[in-house]
Structure 1
Amino acid sequence: MSSNPDFSDFFYAAPDGLRLHARVYGEANSAHWPVVCLPGLTRNARDFHELALHLSTRSALARKVVAFDYRGRGQSAYDPDVSHYNVGIEAGDVLAGLAALGIEQAAFIGTSRGGLIIHVLGAMQPAALKAIVLNDIGPVIEPAGLAHIQSYLERAPKPKTLAEAMAAQRSVHGQDFPALTEGDWTRMVGALYRETDQGLLPDFDPALIDTLAGVDVTKPLPDLWSQFDALVTVPLLAIRGGNSKLLSDATLEEMKKRHPGMEAITADGQGHAPFLETGILPEEIASFLDRAENGH
């Protein structure tokens, strides 16, 4: 495990032997539930850096935080078999990482695909889930939202500099995220891209885009209501971007009906998916985790 002033890099083997990576913040914090952060489809552990610092060093109950890079993202190895880029295998990878770290139970924060993985973890190893934060994801994915992601990834700009990258991201996503500051966009670009000998590149396996090619977004997508219903005893906070195209108000209301204890927050001025380090979200997430651990 290599170290950084803010976190440690942890490398481990997936069940099939692929070399995978996670960041560990607040490694010495053991008095309270650890937190596991799971990013979106093409994103990586860097998305959670500021939130992880808040939860591990600034909140009332300092926690260990583990942020994962799925296979094919960030510092994890790319998989030569594209079919392995699926939520079932990625859930198994997360469990392997937790076992390697000696973590049996934790609170889980999942953005987009990360929230889908949490649904699968609830079926695979329900005892591991002490509390859940779902960031702009639920049991129903709106086809229009997935179509938007498909379209963007297929036509993603190829900037040469970080300044060009930030301009490109604001051009595509700015209308859905009027609440973001210059610093927010800078952090987004820093998390999404990496600088290489070939220039600036998105920090994920390009083959990931192929996994969306066969999805028919003109038809309703399979839902996860049965998996969601199995989470009814787990404290749950759902965060929805006010401008989200992926998680609808109707789905959020149905989630509240099925999980009466669920808390919900709308991140105004943000789309899919809200930046969890912005505004009141870090404090709200920390407070929710504290209440859940204290049985409130």
Structure 2
Amino acid sequence: MAYADWGDADSERTILCVHGLTRNGRDFERLAAALEADGYRVLCPDIVGRGRSDRLPEGAPYEIPQYIRDVTALLAQENVTKVDWIGTSMGGLIGMAMAALPQTSIRRMVLNDVGPFIPKAALERIGEYVGIGWRFDSFDKAVDHIKRAYAPFGLTSEEDWRYLTEISTAKDDTGGWVNAYDLRIAEPFKAAEIGDADLWALWDVLSVPIMVMRGAESDLLTPDVAEEMTRRGPKAQVVEISGCGHAPALMDTHQIDLLRDWCRSA
């Protein structure tokens, strides 16, 4: 598993940033640079099958237990015993599962647009696009695709969309722009009939402090679920981010400043 390591290894605080299903650790470059400037160490892995990390062999499933083992190995390799966790979508689900373990390494956590209940409709929407291969023979065509595919991220400038395209794509042997992830990560969506994902039982055993960032137009983390998260289990703090759906990109100054303030708060 490849990962970026920002800041001083001797820093008193380490922050682990874990990306969403089809994304990779480069999503956090701007955030990591800001947190490094604040004196933190920041680790940003490419979860297996994404970005620069290896692909799993045929027959090995892409699933959260595998991701937990990989992240646990990363922390052990870097001699990190406690982390502040920032997880977007899938990265938040991995964090929730790890936070429920005895003697968890997670000290506190941000869940970026994900919670313990995901509606069937949102999972079906994800299943419609994940694992579909594409290739473009020019970067501009790739930009047009990324704008459509990630419209809910809420980016507004052409510069940001071109940056997102750069970190979302890989070059193939013929110079075309292609998916930067193993298409097999879609297999869990095809293996069984999709229904609601209900993880309230997991949520209710969590005890670490949690802040939730919710895209105001998100279909994955609905307002009623976000509200319930403030009343049950760890009783999370919820911050709504206007102008985006699933999920806030954590790339603009406002969102980065929210996370910097959160890091400074404890």
For normalisation by structure 2, the TM-score amounts to 0.92
How far apart, CA to CA, are the structure 2 residues paired with 1:146 and 1:83?
Answer: 22
Q: Does 1:149 align with 2:126?
A: yes
In the alignment, the residues of structure 2 paired with residue 237 and residue 170 of structure 1 have an alpha-carbon distance, to the nearest angstrom, of 28
**Match of residue 47 from structure 1:** 27
Where does residue 276 of structure 1 map in the other structure?
A: 250
Change (3 A) 1:275 1:227: same
Which residue of 2 is the match for residue 266 of structure 1?
240
- How far apart, CA to CA, are the structure 1 residues paired with 2:138 and 2:131? 20
* Residues 215 and 245, structure 2, Cα contact 8 Å, conserved in 1: yes
Whether 1:35 aligns to 2:11 is no
SS at match of 2:248: coil
- Structure-2 separation of matches of 1:79 and 1:260: 34
What residue in structure 1 maps to residue 113 of structure 2?
136
> Matches of 1:85 and 1:78 in 2, distance apart?
10
Counterpart residue type for residue 226 of structure 1: A
- Separation in 1 of the partners of 2:59 and 2:247? 25
Q: Does structure 1 residue 115 correspond to structure 2 residue 92?
A: yes
Secondary structure in structure 2 of the residue aligned to 1:286: helix
One-letter amino acid of the counterpart of residue 117, structure 2: V
Q: Which deviations, in whole Å up to 9, do the C-alpha atoms of 1:8-59 show, x marking residues without a partner?
A: xxxxxxxxxxxx211100034513x2100111112111111111111111x3
List aligned pairs for 1:230-269, cutoff 5 A.
230-232=205-207, 234-259=208-233, 261-269=235-243
36 and 225 in structure 1: CA distance in 2 versus 1, 3 angstrom threshold: same
| Equivalence for 1:22 | 3
CA distance in 2, matches of 1:204, 1:126: 32
Cα deviation 1:191-228 (Å, max 9, x = unaligned): 110123232111111111223112423x323x222222
1:210 counterpart = 2:180: no
Q: Is the contact between residue 122 and residue 129 of structure 1 (CA under 8 Å) also seen in structure 2?
A: yes
SS of residue matched to 2:2: strand
Query: Which runs of at least 4 in structure 1 moved beyond 6 Å after TM superposition?
Result: none
Name the SS of the counterpart of 2:114 in structure 1: coil
In structure 1, the gaps of 5 or more residues are 1-19
Aligned pair count reads: 265
- The answer for unaligned runs of 5 or more in structure 2 is none
Q: 1:283 to 1:186 in 2, by over 3 A?
A: same
Q: Secondary structure at the match of 1:258?
A: coil
Q: Tell me which of 168, 188, 196 is aligned to 1:220.
A: 196
Residue 186 of structure 1 corresponds to which residue in structure 2?
162
Deviation at 1:143, TM superposition (A): 1.5
* Aligned equivalents of 2:235, 2:227: Cα separation in 1: 12
Amino acid paired to 1:230: V
- In structure 2, do the counterparts of structure 1 residues 251 and 151 end up closer, same or farther at CA, with 3 Å as the change threshold? same
Q: Percent identity?
A: 30
Deviation of 1:231 (Å) = 2.0
Cα distance, 1:183 vs structure 2 = 2.3
Which amino acid in 2 is paired with 1:184? D
SS at match of 1:213: helix
Contact persistence 2:134–2:178 (CA under 8 A): no
